[in-house]
Structure 1
Amino acid sequence: MAAKTNLQLVQECDNFPYYEDDSEFYERRLGNYHAFKVNGCTAVLGYIPNTVVEKFHWIENDWTIDSATRTVTLMAAPDAAPAVRNEIMSRLLADAVRRETFEVLKGWRAEMYPIYAPGGEFLMEMERCASPLFGIITYGVHMTGYVEDEKEGLKLWVARRSKTKQTFPNMLDNTAAGGMSTGEHPYGCAIREAAEEASIPANVFEERARPVGVLTYFYVRDARAGGETGLLQPEIEYIYDIRLDAKHAVNPCDSEVEDFRLWTVDQVRQSLKEGEWKPNCAVVIIDFLIRHGILTPENEPDYLEIVARMHRRLPFPTVKFDLK
């Protein structure tokens, strides 16, 4: 297999088409989806594949399906409280679980992901594993632990995902990462994930970690993601670096991580070329290499497109968070 370039790795994660590249192709591709909307909110909140629309047993009065405009609308009253919308969504998903309609719902997490209207208004929430069925924006945190070694230079703590993990099994991962549930703040989520996945105590994180930016991309799921392919996953990831000393041991703390290894930059870059990384984690690592002056416009011919593709403007409403 030919070595993957950094641009190819970014394109593998940000792989929904761009209107600007080919408007006709983009419009044809968009014809494969229904827009997900909520009554009383004019914004499109996500894209649902037509095949998914056909498989759901939509509950009358709860939903309106308009095949002419390819729109699915949750029909709570325009001024309904989020809890009312949540109940409508819960009924639909519970029915799909009972019927075993979708493979992706077999990964039920009992974690809720938020959905926002323009301006950051909280509209509703839904079960995490169902979010790709509706193509909503999801939020997460990724952190990279690193050591400044006197002899070998910069070294990164790299995680190997569990062989039995439902999504992207046995692929390489950042030091710690996770999705933000309803009501979570990026910093609090990062502290929790660092402890749960990498045994990094809260006091070490608070002392050593620093917020370094936000990455956005629009991912079309493939077989490695588990469940149905072609589901959409637009994401916003808040990024943290954690500078650790050799005395700070990074160890698995749950069943999601097989092991950790402390790799040199050359080892990390070789594993990127070999396609060993989970797609969005590869993007986080490329961002790390850029911010630390390892990938530059002088040594990376695709530098400009790489940076742009890692900060994509998403077509759905978003909410703002402070990083700390």
Structure 2
Amino acid sequence: MGQLSNLDIANECDNFPYYTDDEDLYKAALKDYYQFRVEGCESCLGYITSSVATKMPLTKDWNLDQNKKHLTFQPRTHHGEPVKDFEGRNKILAEYLQDVREKKVFRVLNGWRNELYPIYGPNKTLLLNMERSATPLFGVVTYGVHMTGYVKTPEGMKIWAPRRALTKQTYPGMMDNTVAGGLSTGEMPFECLVRECEEEASLPADVVQSAQACGTLTYFHVRDARAGGETGLCQPECQYIYDLELPADVIPKPGDDEAIDFQLLTVDEVREAIANGKFKPNCAHLLLEFFVRHGILTAENEPHYIDIVSKFHRKLEFPMP
């Protein structure tokens, strides 16, 4: 495989078709998906591949409409009455997903995390909590934090980049942002960042306090084999972005089994690794955004500058908080 251009990198992460780019391609893609819905909510909450939707074990709590291509979660009591309260819905969903996991219906559930991710409806309403590993099955929006830790040296800026453990189910052995993690239900972004910095990089809270919030990155990714489990699953995401300038004597170290090690790389080394496909797709995408903000990637040195920058803030077609 030849080297990837910066536009290739942006397109690899944000790879669900755009209606405005190719209407026919967009409509053709949608034909392969069912809409994930919750009874009582008029909004589509995510896209489910047809192969997943038709393989999903149906109980009284689910309705598969093959004409409308809707898979609707309709939780019921033992007496068949609708369950409308938040905790009741969550309990039924959790028990259902645990059962599906135990039956080994979907490979993606082999990465069960015991972490709950939020699913929002219209008007920022929290509709459901869902086991993290199940979210790609339903194609719902997930949220996380990504931080780039860098050092200013006499030779120029250098960036701390970890290598993912070879035992990870998703993207084993690939390179990551300095620290990244998923946002659980009820967790605030900076709170999540502090926790992840300690767990993944052994960075204490007093060091992380100086991290700068730099907005969000949104994209709509369709998973390939590197992500583990079934392919073609939808993963629309919103990442809260942080930068952290680290002193030269502060060295990140793996605090758990997530990373093999951390490498301090020059900007050119990072760009070469990105071009050679060594970074996890969304991490490479985020580093492009970092390079734009720091004046490394500019309209003068990147012919596809506008196209690339426009892919940092995709408007997702699902309710968000």
Q: TM-score over 0.5 for the alignment? A: yes
Residues 192-207 of structure 1 aligned to structure 2 (within 5 Å):
192-206=195-209
Question: The residue matched to 2:11 in structure 1 has which SS?
Answer: helix
Q: Does the residue aligned with 2:180 lie in a helix, a strand or coil?
A: strand
1:78 CA drift (Å): 7.5
State the partner residue of 1:170: 173
CA distance in 1, matches of 2:30, 2:217: 24
Give me the TM-score of the superposition, normalised by structure 1: 0.95
Using the TM superposition, give the Cα deviation of residue 87 of structure 1 relative to its aligned residue in structure 2, in angstroms. Answer: 2.2
Q: Can you list the C-alpha shifts for 1:19-58, whole angstroms capped at 9, x where unaligned?
A: 1112122112111111011111111000111111111111
2:320 alignment partner in structure 1: 318
- 4+ residue runs of structure 1 moved beyond 2 angstroms? 76-79
Q: Is the 8 A contact 1:58 1:92 kept in 2?
A: no
Task: Write the distance in 1 (CA, Å) between the matches of 2:274 and 2:114.
Answer: 33
Aligned to 2:43: 43
Residue 238 of structure 1 is aligned with which of 222, 225, 240? 240
How far, CA to CA, are the matches of 1:78 and 1:316 in structure 2? Answer: 24
- Work out whether 1:267 is the aligned partner of 2:269: yes
Residues 78, 42 of structure 1: alpha-carbon distance in 2 compared, 3 angstrom cutoff: farther
SS in 2 for 1:238: strand
The alpha carbon displacement at 1:119 in A equals 1.5
| The one of 121, 138, 142 aligned to 2:125 | 121
Alignment of 1:151-230 (within 5 A): 152-206=155-209, 208-230=210-232
The reply to whether residue 103 of structure 1 matches residue 107 of structure 2 is yes
Q: CA RMSD in A?
A: 1.1
1:186–1:78 CA distance, 2 compared to 1 (3 A): farther
Counterpart of 2:78?
Answer: none
CA contact (8 A) 1:195 1:253 kept: yes
User: 1:88: how far off?
Assistant: 2.5
* Partner Cα distance (1:14, 1:186) in 2: 22
The answer on 1:285 being equivalent to 2:287 is yes
- Cα distance in 1 for partners of 2:83, 2:56 equals 26
Q: Which residue of 1 aligns with 2:95?
A: 91
Q: Secondary structure of 1:253's match?
A: coil
Q: CA deviation at 1:254?
A: 0.8
Distance 1:50 1:197 in 2: 36
Name the TM-score, length of structure 2 as normaliser. Answer: 0.96
Long gaps (5+) in structure 2: 76-80
What is the rounded CA distance, in whole Å, between the counterparts of 2:266 and 2:25 in structure 1? 42
The answer as to whether partners of 1:57 and 1:92 remain within 8 angstroms in 2 is no
Q: Distance in 2 between matches of 1:258 and 1:98?
A: 30
Identity %: 52
Kept in 2, the 8 Å contact 1:41–1:78? The answer is no
Number of residue pairs aligned between Structure 1 and Structure 2: 316
- Matched with 1:146 is 150
Aligned to 1:74: 73
